[in-house]
Amino acid sequence: MEGKVADMVNEICKAESEYGSWTLMHRCNLCNKWMKIIGNSDLESLAWIYVWMRYSELRKLDWQRKYNTRPSELAASQKNLAFTVTELIAKASKQGFVSPAWILRSILGSFGRGGDYGQRIRDQILEIMHRHRIGETYGTYLEQWHQKLHNNTTPDDIGICEATIAYWETGNMNKYWEVLHSHGITRDRLASFERPITTQPNYTPYLINDFRDFLKTLKSVHSGADLITSIEHARHCFTPFMHVKIDDVLRNLHHWDTISQIERAVWARLEINYHGNKGNNYQYRELLYVDLSLEMYIRQLFESILHRNMAPRHYIRELNLLLDNALITNEDKELIIAVNDWKSLAKRYANNLEGNREIALVLKSAADRIGRIIGVAVDDFSSLFQPKAKTIGERCKIDKDFVDFFSEEIIRASCFFAPSMILRKLDAQFRGIAKLKPWQIISPISKIQGKLIKVELLHDVAYNIYNEPTIILSKKTFGEEEIPEGVLGVISCGELDGLAHVSVRARNQKKLLAVCFNEEEIKNIEKYVDQWICVTSQGGIIIVKSAQEERFEEEENERYDAQQIKRPEPLEFIAISSDQFNERKVGAKANNCEILKRNLPEHFGVPRQVAIPYGGCEYVISHMINEEKTNKYRELIGRLEEMEHNKEIAEDLSDLKKVILELEMPEHEMNEIQEKLESIGIAKEDWEAAFLAIKKVWASKFNERAYLSTAKLRIPLNDIIMSVLCQEVIVGEYAYVLHTKDPFTNDSSHIYGELVLGLGETLVGAYEGRAFSFTVSKNNNDYQIESFPNKSVALRGSGFIFRSDSNSEDLPEFAGAGLFDSIIMKETEEEIVSYGNEKIYIDFGFCKDIIFKLKEIGILVENIFNGVPQDIEGVIKGGKIFVVQSRPQI
């Protein structure tokens, strides 16, 4: 925090905590000053302002301190600030979950509307008292309240007026206190005013009508979000169609069909936001207050039926409306696409949902994507607002318990909270129809014991070595992580592909990896954090119990024996064609692809390929043209071997990668490589891009995850030699991965597969969302779809790919595959995916055809490799199946 932001925050905190005299009027004036300085695009500065004004709105900052403010002065300061904020909103961006427009609207809703009625508060209370000959007798309720109104009116007066009316309407003093408490006003707060209220009202019901009118005056000054008041002020600003929509809402304020009333209110908001006059600051201000009031009203309607249990079709209808409501003020591209997909699929399938497993999976997948996006929004809220709430809270001496929950309170008040709650209810219903269990057990282990720890991200503890058996509860796991040494199992709270890198490595290392989808179950597990637990897997679910500190004999020593890596033959040529491939020149990917090319039927495809064999990188590093880089490389390697296993190693690994990326290729060797690359279609003018891709593959030997995995298996990085397989990229509609033995059940009679749109890196890399997944029997026509795809993005690319192909790919107990990088020569592009009209979603017959085509290739490839279960990657292009690599399943 520096510059004008620091100046602003310092001035705010000094005024709030040090000034002897301070009121709402002063706060609005100071806010107005800074709003004019920071404008409508500086998100960080706007966030500071909002946190400050939100604390004020929630009474965590003084509304009046040793200063008498005339109501007219307060109203004028609020009016001026409102016009400043309104002008900024009109041109503010709505892009993002926490956009400038959203923050500015929230600031506008954090203080009273002000206006020209401030003096009317003083005058009207006196008129009522004089009209009914109520004396200004010291110590009486109305006189005490009158003195407060006269000198220091605040939004508390709305609650006081409503409570007084409630008492007069019922004759029940308990009702008076009940209404006060609903406004956050206690007996102590009443007595704390500089013009204190220490008595209770007398029963004078003949004043009810006068005070109902007075309540309107109070709301016109202090409330920007009162529905009736805001509509009355804005009537003259409405278009004819706005009148129709607003009147429809007002006619049905007490209608029994709450979802239909939510619909009316959302339509009214849509009309105001898309046809409101932003060019007239006065009119737009009035429309904004109506919009804020409708937004709050929709939240109240939602909360009024939240406790009800409804059929899926009613929840789907309600969710559609609540998502439309959220999108009015938040323009996130993926959220818009995901909502449109959801609405399209819900319209197609909702009436046939009951008892249909595949439809339930489709709708669940679409809903899960929206839930995941809302989760990102929640993270954005927390990261933007919570640090600022802590700073202002500490400096202004706000109660720590409230400060700690500041961002959570904002999230609950946002338009994202209601959809998230409905998504939870629908998830339970979809899971029930699809007969899904609350657990996804990716790497099953029958029983483990260890100390439970909780982490935000599995990657955060990648370098840790645990000296006692440990089980990790991870809030989020992306898929590329390495399970730390000493960890027996990981329970993740977020969706994860079964064939992601971490999934494959967990099964290879015989570690528990499971995902829990039930929030209550996660909360129960969290009770055991820092305790010794026993975790068992039974019938597709995980059971967690407290346990004694003991270990099973088979778990006494997790340390692995050092692996023996095959030594390649000396480098003969810097580049070779596929007919020269053998296991001492190139890795398993290249050799296996050549075997497949010779043995697969013609209606299946294998891409053209050449290779940079083992030793190519080492030869180029040691060449005199790279002498200076050679010395740097050797220095870094020496340091790496001497350093302890900790996060400081990451810097040296990064430096080693930089050295490799700076290598130059000797001219003779460059010509050799170019000649081979031309044979598969890479032009000479693309040499620089091709060479950079080759170097990136070589450099991936020093990937963080590769270092962690090799260190665990006591494999020196120097023993790993990288060849590079150069292939044409098959540009298809889908990429797939098959395991010809079900990796979850170890059933060799079933194939498990996953499929994504675009390139396959989204399937195995750190890309959130699920793939299309299935199991299919080798022996008959039985198959089952496990999930539909909901990845946020598809990777699009063309040209040529350079694949890592090391001598450590398929060592026993070592999942070498996936540790190193494969690089597409032409940079890939991320495309936000729309699934609404995707054939996999709307044509179940098409899904079946794909599954059986992949079953055919899976069986063929396994048979070519003598019945050894295979891990196969490939592409589907125009219905034709291509295999781009295959290796023994581990």
> Active-site positions?
501
Residue type, 189: R
Contact 23, 67 (CB under 8 A): yes
- CB atoms under 10 Å from CB of 36, counted, come to 12
Contacts 24+ apart (CB under 8 A), 283-287: 283/234, 283/237, 284/86, 284/89, 284/90, 285/82, 285/83, 285/86, 286/230, 286/233, 286/234, 286/237, 287/234, 287/237
Rounded Cα–Cα distance for residues 140 and 381 (Å): 47
Residue type, 818: G
| Start-end of H helices in 396-461 | 400-404, 406-413, 417-434
Closest CA to 61 of 100, 110, 98: 110
Assigned token pair, 188: 């102590």
Rounded Cα–Cα distance for residues 613 and 584 (Å): 9
Label the pairing between strands 772-777 and 783-787. Answer: antiparallel
- CB atoms under 10 Å from CB of 870, counted, come to 26
Assigned token pair, 427: 């998830």
Closest CA to 248 of 263, 262, 233, 264: 264
E-only strand ranges, 436-540:
439-443, 447-457, 465-476, 485-492, 512-516, 532-538
What SS3 class is residue 80?
helix
Label the pairing between strands 722-728 and 800-806. Answer: antiparallel
What is the edge-to-edge ordering of all strands in the sheet holding 439-443?
Answer: 439-443, 512-516, 485-492, 465-476, 447-457, 532-538, 541-546
End-to-end CA distance of the chain: 50
What SS3 class is residue 223?
coil
Contact 272, 78 (CB under 8 A): no
Closest CA to 62 of 150, 141, 147, 156: 156
Rounded Cα–Cα distance for residues 63 and 77 (Å): 14
> Mind giving me the DSSP string for 99-127?
-HHHHHHHHHTTS----S-HHHHHHHHHH
Residues written for the chain: 890
Closest CA to 80 of 120, 33, 38, 122: 33
Assigned token pair, 63: 């509304």
Rg of the chain in Å (alpha carbons): 33
Rounded Cα–Cα distance for residues 638 and 647 (Å): 17
Assigned token pair, 712: 């665990």
Rounded Cα–Cα distance for residues 762 and 769 (Å): 9
Backbone angles phi, psi at 685, to 5 degrees: -65, -10
Assigned token pair, 33: 């000053």
Q: What is the DSSP letter of 204?
A: -
Rounded Cα–Cα distance for residues 813 and 505 (Å): 9
Residue recorded with tokens 């219905």 = 879
Assigned token pair, 73: 């002065």
Rounded Cα–Cα distance for residues 149 and 122 (Å): 6
Question: Exposed (0-12), middle (13-18) or buried (19+): which is 355, by Cβ within 10 Å?
Answer: exposed
Q: Which helix (H) or strand (E) holds 873?
A: strand 870-877
Assigned token pair, 711: 């260190």
